[in-house]
Structure 1
Amino acid sequence: MDNIALYLLIGVNAIISFKGFEDQYFFNKYKFNVGAIRAGEQIRMVSSGFLHADIGHLAFNMITLYFFAPIVAQSLGVFPFLLIYFASLVCGSLLTMMFHGNDNSYSAVGASGAVTGVLYSAILMYPEMTLGIFGIIPMPAYLFGIGYLLYSIYGMRAKRDNIGHTAHIGGAIGGYVITLLKVPSLLQDNLLMVILLAIPIVLLFVLAKAGKL
């Protein structure tokens, strides 16, 4: 069941993304766009998470999902895993609307919010596991998670690329919160890591409050 859910998600992402590659009207109709969402097309807050800019974008997200989804599904169960995936997708869209809601032209696509939620959930439960950065550089998972979100905050401030950094952080928040709700014992068993992984999230809102974003 774990693998079936994962393969279905990857398959749906691939089918919808390839449809978007071939059909620009379809792509534009279902991508994340602030103006369209404010006009009532809330479906874009979910549908955009199944579209991707190109094959490389799709492959990166699906490969990341492939490696981390089993960790979450086997630890929490299939349905909590799916809850984290879809809730993180929506959290990514909601946070993006929070920060870019006044820019009607802002658009984005990709499963990054959902995938980051799954990634952050896995890291929260197993912060000491080792990740291979670029496949060769070993790094504790918690350092990668913190660094990834700090980089996302930097990306939000710099605004030098078309990556949806805000959705990454929104997704991480979704994965973080739901995992703690499902495994509250983490607050007792590994409180230090729970606090450390919350630092980039808190920093985001501190910077926003100070008008630095």
Structure 2
Amino acid sequence: MDINFITLIIIGANVVLSLKGFNDFSFFEKNKFNIGGIQRGEQSRMVSSGFLHVDMQHLLFNMITLFFFAGVVIDYLGQTNFAIIYFGSLIVGNLLSYYFHKHEYHYSAVGASGAVTGILYSAILLNPEMSLYMFFVPIPIPAYLFGIGYLLYSIYGMKNKVGNIGHDAHFGGAIGGYVITLLMATWLFEKNLAMVALLAVPIVLLFVMRKTGHI
């Protein structure tokens, strides 16, 4: 499988900065997503945190996922638009985290998961007929079912605080990937309106639950 230049650059940046963060506590603390730091005016954390990871497993999982789905987005929209979706999803993911945790001064998070989820959701929008294989499921899963199921699980994780995982950043990244992709590829509304609407269901559900106080 070929790897595009922009994908290589982003993976390389994640690897270099994450490795530095593993070995430099001060660097990690200065650049992680932290509510208190952002409220002090350190908005750069909204981006820098997306290039740090808690450990090698976290880094590898995100980069492998990015590697497999980046090509789909680039093939449809080009490298520049791919980069816009990547960084846009990263920022939207952290904005949603900020929205949900703005009163938790010490809340912190790191990882490219929001950006990677945005790329994944963009790829599903662009090619919903592709199938995904999961390590624990021996049969292919339709991409759109995986996307919807993943966001529904993220809602469950946000509501029940499942694991030490930034479910809100994942969800926000998916919203970023969804919205930015539709702005770039308006032809999706004509070609596959039903799928566009179906993939919006968990996004609408999240905000309804938030509005009604259920999350």
Q: Do these two structures clear the TM 0.5 threshold for a shared fold by scoring above it? A: yes
**Alignment TM-score, normalising by the size of structure 1:** 0.97
Whichever residue aligns with residue 35 of structure 2, its letter is V
* Whole-angstrom CA distance in 1 between matches of 2:120 and 2:184: 16
1:54-203 correspondence to structure 2 within 5 Å? 54-134=55-135, 136-203=138-205
* Whole-angstrom CA distance in 2 between matches of 1:137 and 1:28: 41
Whichever residue aligns with residue 113 of structure 2, its letter is S
Task: Give the Å deviation of 1:2.
Answer: 6.5
* Whole-angstrom CA distance in 2 between matches of 1:160 and 1:177: 26
Task: Give the Å deviation of 1:115.
Answer: 0.4
* Whole-angstrom CA distance in 1 between matches of 2:83 and 2:34: 25
Kept in 2: contact 1:112–1:167 (CA 8 A):
yes
CA deviation vs aligned residue, 1:110-166 (integer Å, no higher than 9, x gap): 000000000000000111111111173310000000000111111101113111100
Whichever residue aligns with residue 183 of structure 1, its letter is A
Q: Indicate the larger mover: 185-194 or 54-63.
A: 185-194
| Structure 1 ranges of 4+ moved more than 3 A | none
Q: CA RMSD in A?
A: 1.2
Q: Percent identity?
A: 62
Whichever residue aligns with residue 101 of structure 1, its letter is K
Q: Indicate the larger mover: 129-138 or 62-71.
A: 129-138
Aligned residue for 1:49, secondary structure, equals helix
Kept in 1: contact 2:92–2:176 (CA 8 A):
yes
Aligned residue for 2:111, secondary structure, equals coil
**Alignment TM-score, normalising by the size of structure 2:** 0.97
Kept in 1: contact 2:3–2:67 (CA 8 A):
no
| Unaligned segments of structure 2, at least 5 residues | none
Kept in 2: contact 1:2–1:74 (CA 8 A):
no
* Aligned twin of 1:24: 25
* Whole-angstrom CA distance in 2 between matches of 1:125 and 1:81: 12
* Whole-angstrom CA distance in 1 between matches of 2:209 and 2:185: 29
Whichever residue aligns with residue 11 of structure 2, its letter is I
* Whole-angstrom CA distance in 2 between matches of 1:128 and 1:204: 25
| Unaligned segments of structure 1, at least 5 residues | none
Q: Is 1:4 matched with 2:22?
A: no
Aligned residue for 1:64, secondary structure, equals helix
Whichever residue aligns with residue 161 of structure 2, its letter is K
